[in-house]
Structure 1
Amino acid sequence: MKSNKPRQMDEREKLRKFRELDDAFAQALKDMDGSSKRQQLERDQDAQREFEQRLRSLMSDFRQSDTSVDTLLRTLVELGKIA
């Protein structure tokens, strides 16, 4: 007569299942890290475009050339007012 208790996994089976779980967990972490980096890059690019548009608008409003703005920014950096 057979007993109705569940079959015990041997050590190899346990190790195989653990490796599968570990691999799946590692892949999930990689995917999360990759997507968060990609999202951060997209946010940074959007912020850069928005800054450039606002700067160009201000330069136009105040009739400032690229050269004059460049000179102003270099002066501010040299004086330690901006990094």
Structure 2
Amino acid sequence: MDEREKLRKFRELDDAFADALKELEGSKPKPAAVSNELADAERLREQEREKQRIFEKRLKALMAEYAQPADSVSTLIRTLVKLGRI
């Protein structure tokens, strides 16, 4: 193989390596995208916490309205879960 052929092969290899690096850099999430994903995840967690608070408030109100102790309600819920009703 002469020097020109070696130089051509080297350039092809160098170009392929540069293209591979560009692809890797393009697939990395941008810092802003990561920040947005974290903010979205935090919003979802906050929504879930709010749903949990609303559920607990409503459950306590129902327990008070029907004069049911926590143990009785807990047993009822476990039974419903075992039966596949909830």
The TM-score by the shorter chain falls in which range?
0.5 to 0.7
Among residues 50, 54, 66, which one is paired with 1:50 in the alignment? 54
Match of 1:12 in 2: none
C-alpha displacement of 1:68:
0.5
Map of 1:15 onto structure 2: none
Larger helix proportion of the pair? 2
Which amino acid is the alignment partner of residue 49 of structure 2?
Answer: Q
Give aligned pairs, total: 60
Could you tell me which of 68, 77, 82 is aligned with 2:81?
77
* Letter in structure 1 aligned against 2:72: S
Gaps of 5+ in 1: 1-17
Give the residue type in structure 2 aligned to 1:70.
Answer: S
AA at the equivalent of 2:68: Q
Task: Work out the percentage of aligned pairs sharing the same amino acid.
Answer: 37
Give, in angstroms, the shift of residue 58 of structure 1. Answer: 0.4
Aligned match of 1:59 in 57, 63, 66? 63
Alpha carbon RMSD of aligned pairs, Å?
1.5
**What TM-score does the superposition give when structure 1 sets the normalisation length?**
0.67
Which residue pairs with 1:28 in the alignment?
Answer: 32
Structure 1 stretches (4+) deviating beyond 6 angstroms?
Answer: none
Structure 2: 5+ residue stretches without partners: 1-21
- How far apart, CA to CA, are the structure 2 residues paired with 1:50 and 1:78? 24
Report the CA distance between 1:28 and its aligned residue. 1.0
